[in-house]
Amino acid sequence: MDARVWGILLDSFWKILIKGIQVTIPLTVLSFFFAMIIALVTAMIQYANVPILKQIVRFYIWIIRGTPLLVQLLVVYFGLPNIGVRLEAFPAAVIVFSINEGAYCSETMRAALEAVPVGQVEAGYCVGMNYLQIMWRIVIPQALRTAFPPLSNSLIGMVKDTSLASNITVAEMLMQTQRIIARVYEPMALYLEVALIYLVFSTILTWLQRYGEKKLNAYEGSK
C-alpha cells in the first residue's frame, strides 16, 4: 500500500473511532440495558405462567423473531411518520434494538430460569421466603450465571448490528466510513479498517465476558 492510503487510514481512524465512542457504544449500552429489562420481565412472565400476559409475550417474541431487524428499523423510522409518529434517528434505533434484542434475550433468560432446580424454590419456601424474595435472591442470580455466556454473545452481536442503524441516518461508525469512502474512494482499505475497529470492540467484550465468568464461577466450584 502506498503512502496515500496509509495517510487516509490514519486520518480516518480517529474520525471513525470517535463515532464509535459517541454513537455505537452509547447505542449498544442503552439498547442492551433496556433489552435486559424487557428480557427479564418477559422471561419472568413466562416462567411464572401468568395467564394472558404470557400470550402477549409469546406474540411479541413471535413477531420480533420472525421479521428482519433491518425491516423493523425501517418501519419505525420511515414507516411510523405515516401514522403521525415522528422519531429522531437515534431514539428510534434505541427503541428498535431494545425491543429486538429483548425478544431474543427473553428466551435465553426463560431457559436459564427453568434450568434452576425446583428444589431451590421449595427450599426457599421452607425457610419462610415468599415467591418474589425467592426469585430475586435465589433463582434470578443462579439463572444469570447460566445465562451470562449466551447474553454476552447477544451483546457482542448487538455491537455489530448497530451498523444497521446507518440505514436510518444514525451517524455511527459505518456511516462515517461510507462518507469518507465517498470522498476518497478507497473502499477496500476503509471497510477493512472499520471492520477492524468492530473487531477490537468485540475482543474487549470477549475479555470482559471471560473476567465476568471467572467472577461468577466462585460458587460453581473450580470448573
Residues near other proteins, by CB under 8 A? 117, 119-120, 122-130, 133, 137-138, 141-142, 145, 218-221
Question: C-alpha grid cell for residue 46?
Answer: 413466562
DSSP 151-200: HHHHHHHHHHHGGGGGGGT---HHHHHHHHHHHH--HHHHHHHHHHHHHH
Residue 207 CB, shortest distance to other proteins, in Å, is 24
CA dist 77 → 38, 47, 69 (Å): 21, 33, 12
Amino acid sitting at position 192: L
Residue 139 CB, shortest distance to other proteins, in Å, is 9
Residue 64 CB, shortest distance to other proteins, in Å, is 31
Residue 36 CB, shortest distance to other proteins, in Å, is 19
CA dist 182 → 12, 174, 177 (Å): 13, 12, 9
Nearer to other proteins, 88 or 220 (CB): 220
Nearer to other proteins, 129 or 189 (CB): 129
Nearer to other proteins, 18 or 123 (CB): 123
Torsion of CA 136, 121, 49, 107, to 10 degrees: 60
Nearer to other proteins, 11 or 220 (CB): 220
